[in-house]
Amino acid sequence: MRRRRQKFDWLRKVITLMGAAVIMNGMGIMVKAAGEQTPKGTAGMLVYIGTYSQHGSKGIYVYRMNPTTGELTFTGQTAEAQNPSYVTLHPNGRYLYAVSEVDKTGDKPGGGVSAFALNPETGGLTFLNQQLSHGAAPCHVSVDATGHLLTVANYSSGTIAALPVHEDGSLGEATTVIQHEGSSVNPQRQKEPHAHSCTIDANNRFAFAADLGVDKVYSYRLDLANNKLVPNEVPFVKVHPGAGPRHFAFHPSNRYGYVINEVDSTITAFTYDAEKGALNEIQSLSTLPADFKGNSTCADIHITPSGKFLYGSNRGHDSIAIFSIDEVTGKLTPISYVSTQGRTPRNFAIDPTGTFLVAANQDTNNIVVFRIDAQTGQLTPTGQTIEVPAPVCVKFLPHAG
């Protein structure tokens, strides 16, 4: 009976998401074309693109993707925001949260996190409120599966914070602020801690914070009764010195985890003990071709919904590295490296159906759509390319139209 109820709850969540549209915004005021209706025949997924506004963008741009062709069409919606370099969606699809990657918010030091209510018809949003991120240059946010707790990673200060999410989607003041400590072997990049992401596992029990500066992935327990993060009994796992862990992805089975290491362009694979919130390293391998001699750093990592393939982005080589995943061992095997048709692919996203991969090239101001071969994992350009100023984050929300 319990399994049936869990299955129903999961199905209800999927239906809710499929019926809700979402959009994103960062810090400030907002939407153009506020009363615009979704044109007939354009039903599909809404795509939200966060940018660096200091490079001439307005903040967040909203597109709609044709689920058959992968074509991206601008909705007319933009949201003015200050460096909304990472955004995330509430599990119910009605709210969006965005960092403001800055060192000062108003007259207070540090960055901010903003909450917005979403219009499912237009992709428009309404600013709800903003809270301090309790650190400089926040670069990653996530919301737990219950929708009550938000985590934020602050790169420059090396801090992690947790904020309560109210019933109306607004954010409360931080309940937890944790300062990472230490350094590692790279004097240019690792003199101090640099928290780069905080990722929650599928069981919604633990959060894992990748810290580039100290070569550790920290484990925290979610205390949902008090909307806090608590250090786990297994406090962290180390990666090899000089790796620089950045973003983390769990396998859909929740049996394996993978961290992409920015500094030395590698991926570290782990088995995952979901009861203890503990990671055990099983493999580390390069994201670059063996004959590549230039400078490159890693950025983002994602796994297809099928769990068969893993992708990582290389900035410098300017490619997506493709790996197959052994479903028995969790280990990776390199497949190929595909050009992103632009420079500096900081972030990319896989659509919820696993059909398309959308890569954001920060330094050439373009977004490129690839079709994923479900059998081989290979990427093929669809020919769909759009221009967006300094794109650095891509997020999908299914939309019934």
Q: What DSSP string describes 16-82?
A: HHHT-------SS---SSTTPPPPTT--SEEEEEEE-GGGT--EEEEEEE-TTT--EEEEEEEEE-S
Classified as helix, coil or strand, 329 is coil
Q: Examine the pLDDT at 23 and tell me if it is beyond 60.
A: no
Pick 103 or 84 by higher pLDDT. Answer: 84
Rg (CA), the chain: 19
pLDDT the model gives residue 86? 97
Distances 362 to 174, 195, 302, 321, 365 between C-alpha atoms, Å:
31, 21, 18, 17, 6
Classified as helix, coil or strand, 3 is helix
The one-letter code for the residue type at 340 is T
d(CA 66, CA 149): 32
- Is-contact 99 138, C-beta < 8 A? yes
Q: Which residue in 197, 162, 157, 203 sits closest to 180, CA to CA?
A: 157
What mean pLDDT comes out for the span 272-294? 97
Min mean pLDDT across 92-101, 271-280, 336-345, 370-379 is at 92-101
d(CA 260, CA 268): 7
Indicate the pTM of the whole model. Answer: 0.88
Spell out the residues 6+ positions from residue 317 whose beta carbon is closer than 8 angstroms to its own: 265, 288, 289, 292, 294, 296, 337
Q: Examine the pLDDT at 213 and tell me if it is beyond 80.
A: yes
d(CA 184, CA 238): 11
Instruction: Return mean pLDDT, the chain.
Output: 89
Distances 349 to 11, 144, 156, 299, 381 between C-alpha atoms, Å:
23, 19, 25, 12, 14
CATH class of the region 16-397? mainly beta
Confidence of residue 118 (pLDDT cuts 50, 70, 90): confident
- Is-contact 132 112, C-beta < 8 A? yes
Min mean pLDDT across 61-65, 83-87, 173-177 is at 61-65
- Is-contact 325 309, C-beta < 8 A? yes
Q: Which residue in 377, 364, 383 sits closest to 334, CA to CA?
A: 377
- Is-contact 204 186, C-beta < 8 A? no
Confidence of residue 43 (pLDDT cuts 50, 70, 90): low
Task: For 234-250, write each residue's pLDDT tens digit.
Answer: 999 999 999 999 999 99
- Residue appearing with tokens 């590692």: 184
Confidence of residue 28 (pLDDT cuts 50, 70, 90): very low
Report the sign of the C-alpha dihedral through residues 212, 217, 218, 219, in that order: positive
DSSP run (H or E) holding 10: helix 2-18
What is the secondary structure of 246-289 as a DSSP string? EEEEE-TTSSEEEEEETTTTEEEEEEEETTTTEEEEEEEEESS-
Strand partners, 130: 114
Distances 124 to 13, 37, 63 between C-alpha atoms, Å:
22, 10, 11
Distances 80 to 35, 52, 57, 71, 83 between C-alpha atoms, Å:
17, 11, 8, 24, 9
Specify burial of residue 173 (Cβ count, 10 A radius: 0-12, 13-18, 19+). Answer: exposed
Specify burial of residue 215 (Cβ count, 10 A radius: 0-12, 13-18, 19+). Answer: buried
Q: Examine the pLDDT at 111 and tell me if it is beyond 50.
A: yes
